[in-house]
Amino acid sequence: MNYEIGKKLKDSTTLKIGGPAARYYRPGSEEEIRSILLDAKECNAPICMLGKGSNVLFEDEGYDGWIIETITNFTGIKQLDPNRVEVLAGTTNEQLANWLAERGLGGFEFASGIPGTVGGAVIMNAGAYGGEIKDIIESCEWMDEDGNVHNTPAEELDLSYRHSMFSDRFGIVLKAVFQFEDRDKEDIYHAMDELHERRWTRQPMEMPSAGSTFKRPENGFASALIRECGLQGTSVNDAQVSEKHTGFLINRGQASCKDFLELVRIVQDEVYRKKGIHLEMEVHVIPKEGK
């Protein structure tokens, strides 16, 4: 199967940081994904799945493994029953939200503005504004490192805050089945528009970022803690704590991975020093040598 050599990962991530990948694949079928996996196993090459490239940080030196990107060719939505929908992993959250709204199916509005794919949303149990994937998912079809396909019901996916079974084991999400509810089409669009306006008003959507940088600590919000510590606007070269929403660390243009991680350390150290709380990164850092 064809692949790119040396593709710069900053061009494939929302943070716009990352060096070249050894190989960059864009498979269009389950069979192609299996072929890549088996070749990688034979070559002892690490694998990294990539959708829209949010919530991830690659090193400046790049990635020695193989990237499998789903957003280009591995997309699709199929209505199984009036309220049950099967979605391929590379489909973006925005694409699915609009498809559902047009058919009067509600329950996914919360994710309409999350900049990622359905596969990524399942892996991290993505959530926003009171909703999360575990509320609507019925089952997930995924592939293990040997190319075997499994179908796992929602109750066995170990879904919790920003966590799933895939947080602790290798697995490539191929598709998922969701259960939605009938709602008035105009009400769905209105809710999505309100959330869109809320995001653009309160979050630095106009700047490169990986999304929320830190997980929500117990009994509080990372953004509030960072703001209370006076860290808004703090920067390391072009990596900066957003003044618009302190839960986002942004790239003002030429930030490096080292800049970003140094800024993360500064924020973590200062919040721990002043509040006694350790902020855990939500963004996944992918080492050059692979996972």
The predicted pLDDT at position 1 comes to 84
Using 70 as the pLDDT threshold, list the residues of the chain that sit under it: 291
pLDDT digits 0-9 by tens, 90-114: 999 999 999 999 999 999 999 999 9
Is the four-CA dihedral 11, 14, 20, 23 of positive or negative sign? negative
Residue 91's nearest CA partner among 108, 107, 105, 106 is: 108
CATH architecture of 77-202: 2-Layer Sandwich (3.30)
Tell me how far apart the alpha carbons of residues 97 and 107 are, in angstroms, rounded to a whole number: 9
How far are the Cα atoms of 143, 184, 229, 232, 279 from residue 271, in angstroms, in the given order? 40, 44, 6, 12, 8
Among this protein's residues, is 212 annotated catalytic? yes
pLDDT digits 0-9 by tens, 257-278: 999 999 999 999 999 999 999 9
Of 139, 212, 223, 242, catalytic: 212
Among this protein's residues, is 169 annotated catalytic? no
Class of domain 222-286: alpha beta
Tell me how far apart the alpha carbons of residues 238 and 169 are, in angstroms, rounded to a whole number: 34
Where does CATH 3.30.43.10 sit in the chain? 9-69
User: What is the dotted CATH code of the domain comprising 9-69?
Assistant: 3.30.43.10
Of 139, 162, 199, 223, catalytic: 162
Where does CATH 3.30.465.10 sit in the chain? 77-202
Whether 48 contacts 89, CB under 8 Å: no
The predicted pLDDT at position 87 comes to 99
Please give the model's pTM, rounded to 2 decimal places: 0.93
Residue 49's nearest CA partner among 109, 90, 98, 92 is: 90
Task: Name the burial class of residue 4, with classes exposed (0-12), middle (13-18) and buried (19+) by CB atoms within 10 angstroms of its CB.
Answer: middle
Among this protein's residues, is 235 annotated catalytic? no
The predicted pLDDT at position 290 comes to 81
Backbone φ/ψ region at 158: left (φ over 0), alpha (ψ -120 to 50), beta? left
Amino acid 31 reads E
Where does CATH 3.90.78.10 sit in the chain? 222-286
The predicted pLDDT at position 291 comes to 60
- Tell me the Cα Rg of the chain: 19
